[in-house]
Structure 1
Amino acid sequence: MSGSGSRFHFGDNVTVHGGQGNIGIQHNHGPAGDQALPPELAALFAQLTVLVTELARDARLPEEDRQSLQETLPVLSDPAGQERRSWRNTLHLVAGLTRELGEVAAPALGLATQLLALISGR
C-alpha cells in the first residue's frame, strides 16, 4: 500500500453538475453483505486474520486474551460480510489486546492500527 496513494472513502458522496434543481445524493455506508472490499483492504484484513489466529493459539498468552482474540476472527476473516462499525469495534479490541501483549503481538498491533487509520480516513 505504501506509495500507492490509495484512499478509501466511506460516507456520503455528493456531486453537483451545473445549474439549478439538482436533486440526489449517493449514500455510501461501506461494504455490507457480499460487496467486495478494495483489494488492498482485503489483503490487510487477511494478514491480520493470520496473525490473530496464531496469537489465539499461543499458549504463552493468558487464556482470556486468547479467547478474546478468537472471538474477533469472524469479523476479521469476513469483513465484506460485516458492517463498518463491526470492523472498527473489532479492530479497537485487537489493538487494545495486542498493545497489552507486548512484542509477541507487535505485528498484529501494527496491522490493526493501519486498518483503523485507513477506514477512518486518517
Structure 2
Amino acid sequence: MSGDNYYFGDSVTMKNGRENIGMVKNTGPAATDPELRSAMTELTTQLRHLRAEVSPLGAQTIDESLPVLAPDAVVQPQVRTRALMAIAGVAATAGALGAPIVEAVNRILQLLGAQ
C-alpha cells in the first residue's frame, strides 16, 4: 500500500513553488453545508432550553454532547453520531418537551447520511 494517500485535517500541497493548490480545509460537512450548520445551531439552542428540564444525569449528557455538536466542532463523524444518539435518548425521556429535539436529531442524522 505504499503511495496511498490519506487525508485527515488540513492538507497543503507544494510543488517546487509552482502549481501550488493552497490549503485544503478538511473540516467535514458541518463546516460546509449551510443546511447542516443551521440544523446544528438550532439543535444546540433547543438543548440549552431542555437542559433545565431534565434530570441531573440528562443535563450531564447534554453538557458532554454540546461541544461535539457545535457547528464548528471538528470531530469524527462517529463521535458526532454517538452524541446525537445520546441526546435523542435524553430528549425521548422528556416526553412532549423533547419531541422537537428527537425530530431535529433525526433530521441531522439524515443530513449526515447516518440514517
TM-score of the superposed pair, with normalisation by structure 2: 0.68
Residue 36 of structure 1, CA deviation: 2.4
Deviations 1:66-111 (A, max 9, x none): 1111211101124542221121111111111111221111111110
Contact persistence 1:75–1:90 (CA under 8 A)? yes
Structure with more relative contact order (C-alpha pairs < 8 Å, separation 6 or more): 1
Q: Is 2:99 the partner of 1:118?
A: no
Aligned residue type for 1:97: V
Long gaps (5+) in structure 1: 1-23
After TM superposition, give the deviation of residue 53 of structure 1 in Å. 1.0
* Structure 1 residue 27 displacement after superposition: 7.3
- Amino acid in the other structure paired with 1:119: L
Q: Does 1:103 find its partner at 2:100?
A: no
Q: Figure out how many residues of one structure are paired with residues of the other and give that number.
A: 95
TM-score calculated relative to the size of structure 1: 0.65
Structure 2 vs 1, CA of residues 28 and 111 (structure 1 numbering), >3 Å: closer, same or farther?
farther
Q: Give the distance between the partners of 1:97 and 1:51, measured in 2 at CA.
A: 13
1:68 pairs with 58, 61, 65, which one? Answer: 61
Deviation at 1:121, TM superposition (A): 5.8
8 Å contact from structure 2 (residues 68, 79) kept in 1: yes
AA in 2 matched with 1:120 = G
2:70 is matched with: 77
Percent identity between the two aligned chains: 24
More strand by share: 2
**1:65 CA displacement:** 0.8
Aligned partner letter, 1:63: P
Matched residues in 1 for 2:43 and 2:84: separation?
10
Aligned CA RMSD, in angstroms, stands at 2.8
